[in-house]
Amino acid sequence: MNYSRDIERCIDYIEEHIKEPLTADDICAVAGYSLFHFSRVFSLTRGMPIMEYVRSRRLSRASMELFSGRRIIDIALDYGFETQSGFAKAFRKAYGYSPSDYTARMESFRPSLPPGLIGDYMPEPAVVHRPAFRVAGYGIETDVAARGYTQEVASFWSRYDGDNLESKMYAILQPLRHGEVGLCIPASGDGYAKYLLGVIVEDFGKVTADMLTTEVPRAQYAVFTTPPVDTSGDAGQDDFVQVIQSTWVYIFEAWFPSSGYVYDEDKPNFEFYDERCHSRADTVMEIYVPVLIRAGD
């Protein structure tokens, strides 16, 4: 079965009917699976139960409408919340801010902020242990030695002028979960590394000759979520790239010196892009930086 295709069809159905009453039975009928089987597959591919995903998407779509000038209660009712207080409670749990505070925070953010100030708009990173995993996908050469951790290839998909590599990659590899990983494979003798943007796979059995692969070892990471950027307009992607680059600089020039951690040079860092990156008013991505506790701390 092509689980990836079927789940994407269900995701499209959710987006089309997001303001309507939705049940797990309604959604699984689109895929043609039993409710039990569909719920299991969806949780594996999206990392959360189906109705939790629906609630998450409603909150995300509602967050985009907070800038329209409409009353919060009207937005809440549109997305299936019975009261403004119930909406506010769910919104705070998801975003850490009340709807009105979130709007003020977004409107005050400017992508042109220097790296030293971007930390004012970022929560403290989560420190997590992640098991080893495999990545397969496509890559480009980059002189990372010249630019180091600023990661100038962060916008690989938007700069590529050929085939739609993202769609091609998902069609061939059919990963269990949506989300792209971006990381650099060590440089060759000429100083050029390969920047790989791929998906997490169980094995390399479906990899084609034009793809790159790598195995990422188990590590402890500090996980940074970039400040939200509106990418729904024409200039949005450029702003997003700038924020990613500024976040990398902030991590190494501001966060590390004042943290209790040092960079684990034996492990690769990587970027993670999921549905929160797709042309929305609150676009974010995550940066995973391998860390060790600083000696003496």
Model confidence pLDDT, tens digit, residues 222-247: 998 888 887 877 666 777 888 888 88
Separation of alpha carbons 116 and 297, rounded Å: 24
Res. 120: pLDDT tops 80 = no
Domain span at residue 185 reads: 126-293
Pair (70, 176) in one structural domain: no
Q: Give me Rg for the CA atoms of the chain.
A: 20
Choose the most confident range, by mean pLDDT, from 43-47, 208-212, 247-251.
Answer: 208-212
Per the domain annotation, does 115 fall within a domain?
Answer: no
Per the domain annotation, does 287 fall within a domain?
Answer: yes
Do 248 and 297 form a contact (C-beta atoms < 8 A)?
no
Domain end: 79, 108, 137, which one? 108
pLDDT at position 189 = 57
Q: Which residue has the tokens 């789940």?
A: 7
Domain end: 108, 143, 160, which one? 108
Separation of alpha carbons 150 and 225, rounded Å: 16
Angle at 49 between CA 206 and CA 134, to 5 degrees: 25
Res. 64: pLDDT tops 80 = no
Separation of alpha carbons 112 and 130, rounded Å: 33
SS3 280: coil
Mean pLDDT, rounded, for 47-54 = 85
Mean pLDDT, rounded, for 154-171 = 63
Do 46 and 53 form a contact (C-beta atoms < 8 A)?
yes
**Least confident span in 61-70, 173-182, 210-219:** 61-70
Mean pLDDT, rounded, for 130-157 = 64
The CATH number given to whatever domain includes residue 30 is: 1.10.10.60
- The model scores a pTM over 0.85: no
- Integer angstrom CA distances of residue 154 from 118, 121, 238, 247: 18, 20, 11, 11
Per the DSSP assignment, residues forming a β-bridge with 126 are: 223
